Structure 1
Amino acid sequence: MTPEGTLRGDAVHVGGDARQRFHDSRGYGRPVEGNEIALTRIEAAHLLFRGDLSAVVVDGDALEFEAFFVRAAAASTRFTVRFLVYSDLRDRGFYLSPAREGWPGGRHAAADAVDFVVYERGSDPEDGAVAHHVRVVGERETIAAADVAGQTLAVVDEESDLTYFGATTPELDGATPYQPPAGLAGVLLADRVVVWDAPPDLYQHGFYGQPLSGRDSDLGGALQLSLLEAAALADAGALALTETVDAAAATVDDDAETPASDATDDYAAIVARGRAVEGERFDRRLRTYEDLRGRDLVPKTGFKFGADFRTYRDVETVEDLPHSEHLVRVVQADHTFEPRELSLDVRLAGGVRKRMLFALVEGDGNGVRGGDGAADEIEYVEIGRLTP
């Protein structure tokens, strides 16, 4: 005989042999008294959908799946998307528990935003071997970037299709411990710096800049540096400016706040130029660039991929350049993702055989250099497509 449940408060209670039938054998609900168990509305709806419950009694009415589903969806705007994810993971062979106090999943929830705790195949809620902390997200919701590390995002689109993303804190250890030579001399132009007689190693082994000379040029050592590269080299004491083109030649953002700089400080002059041509984003990107270099990674522009940087772990020579591993987008620490934006970034990175990395920069952007204040903190989050 197929049992029925009764809604009491926010849980559906099922008696009889429910503990053995549903909890002990298949990981549904939580034990209450004797053989009785309590189910969340999601769990009860899934058992109704499968035909394992005959009905759920609500206010004296015995509701079958359709009526109970509509009633539950009316009580919670997120019921439908959560039910779709719960059912999909059950169909994939996982046991999972709601991440709420009093239920088995409540012991393992990584954050308040987590909806379900999913156990490794072959494990049940009693074993506690967790495979995923799942956060259910509708296509039109937003996701705080600072909250996602350690979570599996289950995005439900407008046609009820599911896409899973895994968010992790990566190990960023490079293998390019290049030390730039001292004594570099450059000219600050509108939005870049040219070093006329750069030593070959700066580009060939450090992968700084881009050669200016062509095949028929006599300027074999001329190297163009981005403002980020030039600022980092000046900060390290390796680069000095011999000439500065009037800042009026740069494209100035009138709305950007450009703090006054000491004209004798080459680093300050380059940073001021970066702020003038790029605005407040320059400081966050420079902080990230220097941090990645400090980890012995080589960041280069990610413009062709719609990102801030692409990174190389181990550069021995540009002639034998390895494949870049990450695309990096630099965002503020309080950035929120839209699922469509996130899907686009991750899909593009995967399409070019790279992993998508987000640098979350905490701070006001003025603490780039140690002497200018406390350095801004950076949290890295790597997000990729996932098949549970």
Structure 2
Amino acid sequence: MHHFKTCPSNKFLVKGSVDGTSVRLGMDGLVLYEQSGYGRPEKDGLRLAPQEALYLVYRSKITIEGYDLESLISYFCEQELFFRSFIVYRDLRERGYVVQTGPHDFRVFRRGQRPGVGTSQYMVRVLSERDLIDFEVLISEAAASINMRKQHVLAVVDDEGELTYYEIKLQPLQKDQPEPTLEPVDGLLTGRSVLIPGAAGSVFEAAGYGKRFDDQRLMLSLVEAGYLQKREILTVHHRDQILSPGEYTELFKADDAEATEKAAVYDQIRDLGYIPRTGYKFGHHFRVYVCGMSHSDLLIHAIARGTALPMSVISRSVRLAHSVKKKMLFGCVHTTGIQYIEFGRIKL
């Protein structure tokens, strides 16, 4: 982490003044825009955002009448969340990027490019490790970045001022292969599972359904049985009665508070030809096989509409997924259906 001491400059020194929440430089300040992309030109000079002004004072590029570095920090920190925003701004600048404020928190240009002579690459939202991620807001902001052909990045500042960058992708899962033909089968409800007949190598086992109970039977999970029942492949028997899909769904919901979103995600993944199995040992709802059953490719956690999760929880999930060579996706029940959001750590 950097200590706040001013950094010497051997180029030029520009004087400026505080104007509310920004800093104004005279016409001599335009060189900062022309050479390094700082600020926004105006008819009588250059207007700097607070993060830009503080960074230029820190780098001894400008002086501001009546303020030294510490007093300027104190002044701008009256704006809530300013300091963590500045930490991100400084980090990006010192990595060689030109940075402007907006339209989220920062717009970051490709290395070697700046306003007027280049295009921006990243849209950056600044967060702390304790912030809640509202998935509906995240989807909206990421979609806006993607529509502008930019990468959407979360810059997360932890309590020690260290930074982690995450790229957010809205992943449209593509249809992989058709579901194999499955003959109708009767099953017996046994607690939280449904037993169906199936010798080793049966079509159900080959399709990735169930856990072997013994040589002649497979044990289906609640989501597997629910999926097959809704598609009229499985008939569920319970105490000499046949459970309708509605009756079985009510049992499912009574047993699992996340049943609705889990079933929605499971059903869609299955319809696309992927093989979802429980992801419990990874702390998530599903591990998903895309190309055969040798290695699962994805971890997916189902999220109900309106859900918010702490960034610290998401960070643990992403780190674990990377450690086992999987992608981390959250399947969010959204207005347009299920939206899959991928979180991936990146190095800028």
Query: CA–CA distance in 1 between the matches of 2:173 and 2:239?
Result: 37
How far the C-alpha of 1:4 sits from its partner, in A, is 1.2
Question: For 1:181, what is the secondary structure of its paired residue?
Answer: coil
Does structure 2 retain, via aligned residues, the 8 Å contact 1:90–1:96?
A: yes
Structure 1 residue aligned with 2:307 = 335
Query: CA–CA distance in 1 between the matches of 2:291 and 2:175?
Result: 6
Q: Taking structure 1 as reference, are residues 286 and 226 closer, same or farther at Cα in structure 2, changes over 3 Å only?
A: same
Does structure 2 retain, via aligned residues, the 8 Å contact 1:173–1:297?
A: no
Does structure 1 retain, via aligned residues, the 8 Å contact 2:235–2:242?
A: no
How far the C-alpha of 1:328 sits from its partner, in A, is 0.9
How far the C-alpha of 1:265 sits from its partner, in A, is 4.7
Q: Give the structure with the higher percent strand.
A: 2
Structure 1 residue aligned with 2:21 = 10
TM-score, normalized by length of structure 1?
Answer: 0.79
CA deviation map 1:52-93 (0-9, x unaligned): 01x213xxxx212121111111x2121110000000000111
- Equivalenced residue count is 325
Structure 2 residue aligned with 1:142 = 132
Question: For 1:47, what is the secondary structure of its paired residue?
Answer: helix
Query: CA–CA distance in 2 between the matches of 1:237 and 1:157?
Result: 50
Q: Check if 1:324 corresponds to 2:296.
A: yes
Does structure 1 retain, via aligned residues, the 8 Å contact 2:100–2:107?
A: yes
Q: Check if 1:90 corresponds to 2:93.
A: yes
Question: For 1:169, what is the secondary structure of its paired residue?
Answer: strand
Does structure 1 retain, via aligned residues, the 8 Å contact 2:278–2:286?
A: yes
Query: CA–CA distance in 2 between the matches of 1:139 and 1:240?
Result: 47
Structure 2 residue aligned with 1:103 = none
Counterpart selection for 2:41 from 31, 50, 69: 31
How far the C-alpha of 1:223 sits from its partner, in A, is 0.8
Does structure 2 retain, via aligned residues, the 8 Å contact 1:190–1:245?
A: no
Query: CA–CA distance in 2 between the matches of 1:304 and 1:245?
Result: 32
How far the C-alpha of 1:245 sits from its partner, in A, is 4.5
Structure 1 residue aligned with 2:228 = 233
Q: Check if 1:244 corresponds to 2:247.
A: no
Question: For 2:273, what is the secondary structure of its paired residue?
Answer: coil
Counterpart selection for 2:331 from 346, 359, 363: 359
Does structure 2 retain, via aligned residues, the 8 Å contact 1:96–1:125?
A: no
Q: Which runs of 4+ in 1 moved over 3 A?
A: 263-266
Residue pairs, 1:104-183, within 5 angstroms: 109=103, 114-127=104-117, 129-149=119-139, 150=142, 151-183=152-184
Q: Check if 1:52 corresponds to 2:24.
A: no
CA deviation map 1:9-34 (0-9, x unaligned): 32211114211x21011010000015
Provide the identity percentage: 29
Structure 1: segments with no counterpart, 5+ residues: 100-108, 214-218, 247-262, 316-320, 364-375
Does structure 2 retain, via aligned residues, the 8 Å contact 1:345–1:356?
A: yes
How far the C-alpha of 1:3 sits from its partner, in A, is 1.3
Structure 2: segments with no counterpart, 5+ residues: 1-11, 143-151
Structure 2 residue aligned with 1:268 = 246
